[in-house]
């Protein structure tokens, strides 16, 4: 049993996961569908060693406190339960993602952790089982095990809640432009935000119907490379997710003023004939879905308004890899 390093990429949900059905097993209220991105990833090395009296977790060169590393230690505990490994682990992780900026660094982080920890403990899990293990750290990590378009099937228990590749090799000239408006740590964690939405938004029951309808409609649109339909669905789905935060009690929002301005810019671009659509997660950053041919128009406009450094172009990315 040796040190193992895994790399996993983050993903952006086109049909969002927003609500847990079981907080302990991390079972979602609904299925979801995402696109794995090439630009944002996490490298994680795990080594189970004899000289530690507790798990040691270093993120971007900084040692995490026991509280901050709780979810990581939970995944390590699950790996120890499933394997013959009993020792504590040294974990070192480097995020090539603005941490907790709503660019879903938890997705790439827990996918990489699941891969590195399980292999280091001598387990040789299938990618399906890796997705189930990653899920226990962070829901969105379930999908980051696979590349391209990925579905997280909600399932009904630990065995059936897992990711399935929908289309791993994406032969479609599309891009996702990330507009980083605030790289700081988000104020309302996704766990808190979801829980509040599930328990207090009167619109939550309608969200489940929205997701079922959107999944049924977006899959054929992706297969047909129907950009307009895919874009319309992902934009409406994101806004309906955020409607759950605005309709919670007390109400909250992940948007800031610049997020609203960026959404208007995307609508302006569209009105001027540049086809593009926006989506937002649990943070103020805006991601813009566009076609490769329209990238210059989209990035030039966003850079002029928000600064070139804030604009990062991403494309479909790969699944987990061992380095
Ligand atoms: O699993 P978490 O805590 O990273 O939550 C992800 C929530 C969203 O990013 C907003 C939606 C999604 O499906 O990724």
Residue 246: band (very low, low, confident or very high) from pLDDT cuts 50, 70, 90: very high
pLDDT score of 270 more than 80: yes
pLDDT at 75: 98
pLDDT single digits (tens) 107-141: 999 999 999 999 999 999 999 999 999 999 999 99
Contact at 8 Å (CB) between 133 and 118?
Answer: yes
Three-state DSSP class for residue 69 = coil
pLDDT at 104: 57
Contact at 8 Å (CB) between 47 and 2?
Answer: yes
pLDDT at 309: 87
Element (H, E) at 130: helix 127-135
User: Ligand 1 centroid vs 1 CA: distance in angstroms?
Assistant: 33
How much is the average pLDDT of 208-230? 98
Residues 6+ apart with CB under 8 A from 135: 26, 141, 142, 152, 161, 162
pTM of the model: 0.97
pLDDT at 1: 58
Residues 6+ apart with CB under 8 A from 156: 27
Beta bridge partners of 63: 58
Torsion of CA 183, 242, 112, 32, to 10 degrees: -160
Handedness of CA 321, 313, 287, 274 (dihedral sign): negative
Concatenating the DSSP letter of every residue in 231-296 gives HHHHHHHHHHHHHHHHTSSS---S--HHHHHHHHHHHHHHHTT--EEEE--SSS-EEEEEEGGGHH
pLDDT score of 274 more than 60: yes
Helices then strands, each counted (H, E), the chain:
8, 14
How far apart CA 301 and CA 181 sit, in angstroms, is 15
pLDDT score of 182 more than 60: yes
pLDDT at 105: 81
Among 17, 28, 30, 34, say which to mutate for ligand 1: greatest number of ligand atoms within 8 Å of CB: 17
Q: What whole-number percentage of the chain has pLDDT above 70?
A: 96
DSSP code of residue 65:
P
Three-state DSSP class for residue 190 = helix
Residue 206: band (very low, low, confident or very high) from pLDDT cuts 50, 70, 90: very high
* Mean pLDDT of all residues belonging to the chain: 95
Contact at 8 Å (CB) between 6 and 119?
Answer: yes
User: Ligand 1 centroid vs 87 CA: distance in angstroms?
Assistant: 31
Among 140, 154, 191, 283, say which to mutate for ligand 1: greatest number of ligand atoms within 8 Å of CB: 140
Q: From residue 313, give the alpha-carbon distance in Å to each of 153, 228, 271, 287.
A: 28, 20, 22, 9
pLDDT single digits (tens) 26-75: 999 999 999 999 999 999 999 999 999 999 999 999 999 999 999 999 99
pLDDT score of 163 more than 90: yes
pLDDT at 35: 98
Residues lining ligand 1, Cβ inside 6 A: 13, 16-18, 32, 104, 106-107, 138-140, 190-191, 281-282
pLDDT score of 227 more than 50: yes
How much is the average pLDDT of 166-185? 91
How far apart CA 286 and CA 272 sit, in angstroms, is 20
Residue 210: band (very low, low, confident or very high) from pLDDT cuts 50, 70, 90: very high
Least confident stretch, 14-18, 177-181, 209-213: 177-181
Residues in the chain: 323
Atom number in ligand 1 closest to CA 15: 13
Residue nearest to atom 4 of ligand 1 (CA): 140
User: Ligand 1 centroid vs 51 CA: distance in angstroms?
Assistant: 36
Residue 100: band (very low, low, confident or very high) from pLDDT cuts 50, 70, 90: very low
pLDDT at 314: 95
CA end-to-end distance (rounded Å), the chain: 16
DSSP E strand stretches across the chain:
4-15, 20-22, 27-28, 32-49, 56-59, 62-63, 88-96, 149-153, 162-167, 174-179, 276-279, 286-291, 311-314, 321-322
């Amino acid at each position: 049993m040796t040190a193992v390093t895994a790399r996993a990429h983050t993903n952006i949900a086109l049909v969002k996961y927003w609500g847990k059905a079981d907080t302990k097993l991390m079972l979602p209220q609904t299925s979801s569908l995402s696109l794995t991105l090439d630009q944002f990833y996490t490298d994680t090395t795990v080594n189970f060693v004899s000289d530690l009296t507790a798990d040691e977790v270093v993120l971007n060169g900084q040692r995490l406190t026991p509280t901050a590393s709780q979810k990581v230690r939970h995944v390590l505990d699950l790996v120890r339960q499933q394997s013959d490994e009993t020792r504590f682990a040294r974990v070192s992780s480097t995020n090539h993602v603005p941490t907790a900026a709503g660019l879903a660094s938890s997705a790439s982080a827990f996918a990489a952790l699941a891969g590195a920890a399980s292999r280091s403990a001598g387990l040789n899990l299938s990618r399906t089982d890796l997705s189930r293990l990653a899920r226990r750290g962070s829901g969105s990590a379930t999908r980051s095990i696979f590349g391209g378009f990925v579905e997280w099937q909600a399932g009904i228990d630990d065995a059936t809640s897992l990711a399935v590749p929908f289309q791993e090799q994406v032969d479609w000239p599309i891009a996702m432009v990330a507009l980083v408006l605030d790289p700081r740590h988000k104020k309302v964690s996704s766990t808190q935000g979801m829980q509040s939405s599930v328990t207090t938004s009167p619109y939550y029951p309608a969200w489940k119907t929205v997701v079922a309808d959107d999944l049924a409609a977006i899959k054929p649109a992706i297969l047909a490379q129907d950009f307009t339909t895919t874009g319309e669905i992902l934009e409406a789905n994101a806004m309906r997710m955020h409607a759950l935060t605005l309709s919670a009690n007390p109400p909250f929002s992940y948007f800031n003023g610049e997020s609203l301005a960026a959404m208007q810019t995307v609508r302006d671009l569209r009105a001027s004939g540049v086809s593009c659509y926006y989506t937002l997660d649990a943070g103020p950053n805006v991601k813009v879905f566009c076609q490769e041919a329209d990238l210059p128009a989209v990035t030039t406009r966003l850079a002029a308004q928000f600064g070139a450094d804030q604009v990062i172009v991403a494309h479909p990315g790969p699944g987990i890899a061992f380095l």
